[in-house]
A and B are shown apart, each in its own frame.
Chain A
Amino acid sequence: MIQLYNVYKTYNNTPALVDISFIIKKGAFVFVTGPSGAGKSTLLKLLYRWENYDRGQVLVNGTNVGKIKFNRLWKLRRKIGVVFQDYKLLQRKTILENVAFVLEIVGADKKTIRFKAWEALKNVGLSHKKDAYPMELSGGEQQRVAIARALVNNPKILLADEPTGNLDPELASEILHLFEQANNEGTTVVFATHSQIILQEGNHAVITLKQGKIVDTRVVV
């Protein structure tokens, strides 16, 4: 499902990813960890082609991501749900509208939108706040809205960038279970985190980055 071969990425001549190679199979659940600045976010951004790479190859679903034309990128991105590290919630919309927004973008009909958006909020325990604006929510609540939004389109691939960074351990493990549930339903999950607790709690493969290099991998047996 996701294949990287000798991928290099620099920002203004500063290396962010160095010679990265790995394969994530369809239906897998993989953690990406490493200290701040190690390149976790950058790695995820390559997968949905928000950033391009300098060398190597990135294949998602068999497609060479670096070669996709701008006008066709939407096809790739519709397959991928992303929980952004900075959430990217729209401040002018209620949280229900925020979740509904991504359904509107892919052209779902009104009834589906209302039902699915509400259900997604319910799954993260926020349906009672559906008419609140992001500003009126705590950090953890905002994070959960971002998670609901990433899951609402039933993506084939879920990329989560520190999705539990602002949550207390209990809530964090609940969210982890949410991702595992999606994973059980067939979604490939890539989960970036530096929380050791989460890493230990979930018995999944781990890719550890440091200064842009893979320094360790844990494989599940």
Chain B
Amino acid sequence: MRTLKTTITNIKSNKQLFFASVGTITIALSILGLFLFVYINLNSVLSFWNDQVQLIVYLEDEVSMHEKKKLEKMVSSHSEVESFDFVSREKAWKNFQAMFSEKSAFLKGMGFNPLPASFNLKIKPTPNRLEKIRTLAEQMKQLPGVESVEYGEEWISRFEGFIILMRVFLLALGALLSLGAVLIISNTVKLSISSRKDEIELMLLSGGTPGFIQLPFFLEGILHGLLGAVVSLALMKSIHLYVVNQFQGAIETFGRSMDFQFIPFPLIMTIVMASILVGWLGSFFSLHQFLGVYKKL
């Protein structure tokens, strides 16, 4: 209670500096958050597409019953295949017509079915799934009765590469900004400490425990981190809401069943905890430096 009061007095007597420092941390965190926001949404796009990725094996129109059976057997027994559909030429045609129902008059008028039959394979989700799809595709291409294979290869691998790059970038940026925040907080707390030098000295002389003496300053540092995190998260949330309002419509035509995601809760907690840790570290360095003088006496 008294500790809290001391912390607040400390902050009040250095108000401008406190707000400047919290503001800087807020901005730093917001920059990080913005990238995180983009990353999370790109990632969710990726996993959405990843889910959609199928290896489609088109059959030759004149495939024999025997070849088809053989292919089906191979596909159903393959260890990497999670499930598969057989889409006959007729069914493919129906699907196609359903998808473009407004043009169905024209389609009906075509009078023949240009679509091949296919096996649509869903591959088990493993970390190197793309690799697996690739090898399986190569295998299947060689088999008799197979006309061609298809999957969104280039797209996905490029996209995945980008996501990995982004992850590295985010980690580096986070580390850099955290370091900056530690320095800023440490500096602010240092000023707070030196403006109370006489009081701290008296506390040391009158038998204040190190914990009692240091707690207000630890709280001050932690408050920096916590406030910075909360304000920047609130900022992120309002940006998120704005974006959702403005662009949700556009997104819906782009990829169904997808929305703009906010930073997920566990990650929010991680950010808050990390900010608290950063604040604590800032205080720790200043206190360590300051009290070091008295430890040597």
Contact = CB atoms under 8 A, between A and B. Distances in A.
Interface residues of A, number: 26
B269 interface: no
A70 B295 contact: yes
Given A74-B210, A90-B199, A48 B295 contact: no
A71 interface: yes
Interface in A79-102: 79, 82, 84, 88, 90-91, 101-102
Interface stretch (B42-50, B119-127, B154-162, B201-209): B201-209
Interface of B is mostly: helix
B212 interface: yes
Contacts of B199: 90, 101
A111 interface: no
A70 B206 contact: no
A5 interface: no
A104 B208 CA distance: 9
Query: Among B206, B207, B209, B297, which residue has the most Cβ atoms of chain A within 10 A?
Result: B206
Given A50-B297, A51-B297, A104-B2, A70 B201 contact: no
Given A88-B201, A90-B198, A101-B202, A70 B207 contact: no
B205 A77 contact: yes
Query: Among A48, A70, A101, which residue has the most Cβ atoms of chain B within 10 A?
Result: A70
Contacts of B106: none
Chain B interface: which size bin?
10 to 19
Contact of B205 (A51, A75, A88, A104): A88
Interface string B280-297: 000000000001001101
B202 A74 contact: no
Given A70-B295, A105-B212, A88 B198 contact: yes
A52 interface: yes
A82 B294 contact: no
Contacts of A82: 205
Contacts of A78: 206-207
A79 B205 CA distance: 11
A101 B205 CA distance: 12
B2 A52 contact: no
Contact of A74 (B2, B201, B209, B297): B209
Interface string A200-211: 000000000000
A145 B198 CA distance: 16
Query: Top 6 closest A-B pairs, CB basis?
Result: A78-B207, A77-B207, A105-B208, A102-B206, A74-B207, A70-B295
Interface of A: 48-52, 70-71, 73-79, 82, 84, 88, 90-91, 101-102, 104-107, 153
